[in-house]
Amino acid sequence: MDREKYQELVSTFFEWNQPAISQIFSELLSAVAAERDLSPSGLMSQNYETARANPEINVLPGNLKNARDAIFPYFWGTDSWNNPLHLENVKGPANHASLIGALACLLKNPNLCTDRYSQRSNELEVKAVTTLANLIFYHTDDPWGVFTIGGTISNLYGAKIGLERVVPGAMRTGLMGHRVVGICSQASHYSNQTVAGWLGIGTENLIHIPTDEKLAMRIDLLEAKLDELYRSNIKVAYVCATFGTTDAFGIDDIQAIRELLVAKSKAYSVPMPQLHADAAVGWAMVMLTDYDTAKNPLRMEEGLLEIVREVQVKNKGLRYADSVTIDFHKLGRGHYPSSAFIVNRREDLKYLARTVSDTPYFSEADASRDPALFTLECSRPGLGPYSVIASLNGIGLTGWQMLTARALELTQRLKDRLAKIEYCKVLNADTRGVSVNWWVLPKGRNAEDIYQRLIRNELTPEQLSRYLPEVKQLYDKRTKMMDPTLDARLGFTTSFGYCPHGIDIPAWKAVFFNPKTTEEIVDRIAYGIEEL
């Protein structure tokens, strides 16, 4: 081997050339900055067949600029969601404190599986998890948890603990012929289907409990279903409550669910199901738990203060969950992946534990601290804890309260504006979160009257087939007519979560994740609807 060429290769790609790296990073920052003057991009032209037909690898060693050039077209062709007109889904721009954390993590590239592979980065994960746990469960005694690759995996952890509760040893022996079910609400995230399927419970054994108009699981129907299941000797592994549904921000009554599960477990002498809370979207509301609404240091207006008080009451429900999923990359505006699975009591992790003999690759692992002995993943990146701790401490609790309250304020402003339009109907008027779901019907229709008739099951099939498609038709019309430099990009859902009489209700959707969105953007949404 040519040692001179080898040394040149090592020098280029494994020694720190700070000027060269800084220059390329500066160029990438300049490209992102240029997006500020551009309209939000739609889905750019993509040609997967061309990509498959042209796999690319240079023959000869190059340099860092070759690396930059290879990825830049795709970098430029990916929206950063920094534009304040982005309101279509639960995604916003990542904050710059998170960027600092993510860069620091990438420079060291720790694997959070064991102390040996992560050293003090494992300590940072414990710090991040404990900080989030005390925000969510509110001064809990002995929480624990890990960062995962996404909210679905975090939900999987919660369900797996429940499965091991009701079928001890399932990790090794499987379900052993038992019929096991999981329960969630009708408005819950589709990841619950994924979890049931991948656990081996089966998607047909995932039971969806209908919600009320506020998108909360109906406790009376949950009670009836539990009685039916337990009388049939069917095992209930877990109930996945939702704290902030993806479309309409519905919040389940977690305290009431807990009290019901305790009572039924006692009455039927069965193990307590795992009560897991999917708070991937809604967790950030806990930033407002300790806000002093009497002193009101941020000088919030009375209408917003009342919403904050309602949120504070809702937040108390999280204290009754056994475990919780959070996605910091949503309302935490952190970098992917920043999902965490957190248990209220560390002892519950025993249901996931393995021994060192099960993981010979990690022969030095210590059960008291090394996550590899209970995690699904063997390789876990450190981006989550680095992003979380950098963001929480850079922005500070007061900063997070301002960001969260501002999103609630703009959400309510849009609800109030739409409520004044006769042919519009706000579908989630009574939820307290950062999303708005609504109907737009043709002028001349009374949207409230039509909606109430739907709820009472008074609409004929012909009327349903006329009114519901109109919602999508007018959404498509706005999309074609909108000025992309002025009009917000909105979302659409075919079912916002409340399904009276089994009817899926479509809706327009706006989600206030972007801190740069203004009152003018909100008011123009209503103005544009009136001009359709």
Please tell me the predicted confidence (pLDDT) of residue 368.
Answer: 67
Name 326's bridge partners.
340
Please tell me the predicted confidence (pLDDT) of residue 471.
Answer: 98
Please tell me the predicted confidence (pLDDT) of residue 367.
Answer: 65
CB atoms within 10 A of CB 475: 19
| Residue 327 forms part of a structural domain | no
| Residue 318 forms part of a structural domain | no
CB atoms within 10 A of CB 229: 19
Q: Which domain holds residue 56?
A: 3-80
Quote the pTM value: 0.95
* Total domains, the chain: 1
Q: CA-to-CA distance for 432 and 247, rounded, in angstroms?
A: 12
Q: CA-to-CA distance for 410 and 414, rounded, in angstroms?
A: 6
Please tell me the predicted confidence (pLDDT) of residue 362.
Answer: 66
383-419 and 302-315 helices cross at what angle (nearest 10)? 130
Q: CA-to-CA distance for 372 and 415, rounded, in angstroms?
A: 46
| Residue 444 forms part of a structural domain | no
| Residue 193 forms part of a structural domain | no
DSSP-derived letter for residue 140 is: -
Please tell me the predicted confidence (pLDDT) of residue 41.
Answer: 67
Please tell me the predicted confidence (pLDDT) of residue 116.
Answer: 85
Task: Mark the ranges of the chain whose per-residue pLDDT is less than 50.
Answer: none
| Residue 408 forms part of a structural domain | no
**Any residues with CB less than 8 A from the CB of 425 and at least 6 apart, and which?**
438, 439, 441, 447, 448, 450, 451
Please tell me the predicted confidence (pLDDT) of residue 56.
Answer: 84
| Residue 418 forms part of a structural domain | no
Please tell me the predicted confidence (pLDDT) of residue 43.
Answer: 62
Q: How far is CA 406 from the centre of its chain?
A: 19
DSSP-derived letter for residue 406 is: H
| Residue 73 forms part of a structural domain | yes
String of b and e for 262-287 (b: at least 16 CB within 10 Å)? eebbeeeebbbbbbbbbbbbbbbbbb
57-107, pLDDT tens digit by residue? 889 999 999 999 999 988 988 888 989 999 999 998 999 999 999 999 999
**Any residues with CB less than 8 A from the CB of 311 and at least 6 apart, and which?**
285, 288, 408, 432
Location of structure tokens 């498509």: 476
| Residue 434 forms part of a structural domain | no
Tokens encoding 500: 């009276």
